[in-house]
């Protein structure tokens, strides 16, 4: 007999299965903030020799009207309206050359190539971030809370971070490819 209790258990099980199979819709559960110091400390090795590095300070607020003319509709939606590109749509999914990934709006380095891994989700994914170059906030735009992250210099939206990444950090920084620009070390 299909009782109400069985119905509830079945519904919850179905919901959890659906959520776990949808990569960017995972519960944001706090895990210990374990980070790989080796990966983080080595990120500057991936900068091109002549790269004039941009610093977080001074911060700036993007001019939305000007950017509307400069960016594509998708870039504008992602960077300024917290939109999401279609999975498997970014060529950066396949980018594994040594180098750094910059914020497309302001050029601040956000990730180095040694932080990137193939999550299989269809979005460029990283295990770590360059310290101090990313800021986060809670996002309640869906039913469950998520952690949104953005460029610390210009505030442009990059993606969401989840706790299902590889150890030791255990994080998956799920980034929109359209919000990044890749700068190869050999450039
Ligand atoms: Fe930026």
Task: Assign residue 50 the CATH number of its domain.
Answer: 2.170.150.20
User: Residue 77 sits in which domain range?
Assistant: 26-184
Distance in Å, CA 29 to ligand 1 centroid = 27
Q: What is the mean pLDDT of residues 57-69?
A: 93
Of the candidates 39, 38, 52, which has an alpha carbon nearest to the alpha carbon of residue 187?
52
Domain count, the chain: 1
Examine residue 9 and state whether it is found in any structural domain, yes or no: no
More confident: 168 or 35: 168
Distance in Å, CA 69 to ligand 1 centroid = 18
Residue 38 has pLDDT above 90, yes or no: no
Q: What's the pLDDT band for 34 if we cut at 50, 70, 90? A: low
Examine residue 5 and state whether it is found in any structural domain, yes or no: no
Look at residue 6 in the predicted model and tell me its pLDDT. 52
Residue 117 has pLDDT above 60, yes or no: yes
Distance in Å, CA 155 to ligand 1 centroid = 6
> How does the average pLDDT of the chain come out, rounded?
85
Distance in Å, CA 154 to ligand 1 centroid = 4
Examine residue 60 and state whether it is found in any structural domain, yes or no: yes
Examine residue 2 and state whether it is found in any structural domain, yes or no: no
Catalytic residues: 174
More confident: 76 or 28: 76
Examine residue 113 and state whether it is found in any structural domain, yes or no: yes
DSSP state of 123: S
Q: What is the pTM of this model?
A: 0.80
Please compute, for residue 144, the number of CA atoms within 13 A of its CA located in the half-sphere on the CB side.
12
The angle subtended at Cα 106 by Cα 137 and Cα 180, nearest 5°, is 75
**95 token code pair:** 């980018």
């Amino acid at each position: 007999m299909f009782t109400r209790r069985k119905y509830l258990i079945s519904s919850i099980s179905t919901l959890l299965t659906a959520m776990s199979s949808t990569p960017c819709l995972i519960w944001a559960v706090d895990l210990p903030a374990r980070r790989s110091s080796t990966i983080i400390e080595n990120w500057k090795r991936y900068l091109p020799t002549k790269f004039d590095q941009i610093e977080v300070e001074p911060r700036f607020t993007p001019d939305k009207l000007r950017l509307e003319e400069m960016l594509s509709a998708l870039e504008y939606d992602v960077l300024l309206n917290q939109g999401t590109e279609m999975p498997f749509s970014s060529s950066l999914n396949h980018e594994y050359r040594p180098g750094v990934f910059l914020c497309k709006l302001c050029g601040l380095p956000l990730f180095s190539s040694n932080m990137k891994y193939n999550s299989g989700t269809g979005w460029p994914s990283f295990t770590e971030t360059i310290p101090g170059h990313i800021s986060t906030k809670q996002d309640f735009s869906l039913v469950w809370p998520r952690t949104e992250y953005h460029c610390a210099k210009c505030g442009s939206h990059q993606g969401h971070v989840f706790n299902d990444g590889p150890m030791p950090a255990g994080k998956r920084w799920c980034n929109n490819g359209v919000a990044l620009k890749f700068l190869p070390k050999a450039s």
